[in-house]
A and B are shown apart, each in its own frame.
Chain A
Amino acid sequence: MPERVVLLAAAVAVVVLAGCSSPPSGTSPSATLATVSGATPGMPGMSGMPSMPNAQAGTSASVTAPAAPVTGDAVSIDNFAFVPATLTVRVGSTVTWTNHDEEPHTIAASDGSFHSPGMGSQATYSHTFPTAGKFDYICSIHPFMHATVVVTQ
């Protein structure tokens, strides 16, 4: 019986000691900022200034390219995917992309040869391909969206 009590007491004592063992910290925190570059990044905040409510929602931009030629080939942006994923056209053709998503997208060539502005819902973008080749492109906002335009002679 006594040995059990001793063991029990020892267990409790160790737990309590483990919890209280850390020394209290006496430093008062200082929140001054130091930067390596010299200039201070970020915006200085307005301490004490009341917040300014702005109930007006911003406008969403939409870009409409000039009317595409009648013979242009089309790529549709649907549900975060380019349809068709591979489009084959002749040299000199113009491809027109149309965004059917609510979310904005862009058309950005992997080799940098074309980069659309931000395309809102229903916006279109056209690009003419003067040379043959295989042109991979992505959406620069959602780069997991990718497709290819194959330009043949």
Chain B
Amino acid sequence: MTFADVMTRIGIAAAMAVSGISHAYLYIHGYQHIPTIGAAFILQASVSFAVAVLILIGGPGWLRWAAAVVAGGALVAFVLSRTVGLFGFSERGWQPSPHAAVSVVAELLTVGLWVAYLVNRRRADARG
């Protein structure tokens, strides 16, 4: 368990938690009333928190894949909502600010750290 490994774990967990908090906050403050999107928000938030906690306390590697999937999914949904719309829901620009921007940064960080984790593992394997 290297120092880099621990830092990556904390980083992914924190990023997932921030993304989850943003979605939970928006859910509590009005998004719960939006059809389908409301349900998706609470799902994203609860799964993000769960995965963040388990990664933090040292769960297996597939949890980071799960984190990347959830974060990647949230990013795709965000892009869809700004372009063609998602379940009849669409928004403009970076509204609601600053939560949208904060969440996107956190999700990009999650995906980035997952990639770093993969690269790290590959290097560790190559070293034997």
B residues near A8, Cβ cutoff 8 Å: 53, 56
**Number of A-B residue pairs with CB-CB distance less than 8 Å in the complex they form:** 23
Indicate if the CB atoms of A15 and B56 lie closer than 8 Å: no
Asked if A7 and B24 make an inter-chain contact with CB atoms under 8 angstroms apart, the answer reads no
B113 within 8 A of A: no
A4 to B28, CA, bound (A): 26
Interface string of A102-123 (1 = CB under 8 A from B): 0000000000000000000000
> Nearest residue in A to B28 (C-beta to C-beta)?
A19
* Pair B17/A11 contact, Cβ less than 8 Å: yes
User: In whole angstroms, how far apart are the Cα atoms of A4 and B57 in the complex?
Assistant: 7
- Interface assignment of B68: CB less than 8 Å from any CB of chain A: no
User: Is A18 an interface position by the 8 A CB rule?
Assistant: yes
How far is A8 from B16 in the complex, measured between Cα atoms in Å? 12
Q: How far is the CB of B60 from chain A (nearest CB, A)?
A: 16
Complex-state Cα separation, A72 to B10, whole angstroms:
85
Q: Which of B48-90 contact A (CB under 8 A)?
A: 49, 52-53, 56-57
Q: Are A7 and B14 in contact (CB under 8 A)?
A: yes
What are 13 A-to-B residue pairs whose CB atoms are below 8 Å? A7-B10, A7-B14, A7-B56, A8-B56, A11-B17, A11-B21, A11-B49, A11-B52, A11-B53, A14-B21, A15-B21, A15-B24, A18-B24
Binding site for B on A (CB under 8 A): 4, 7-8, 11, 14-15, 18-19, 22
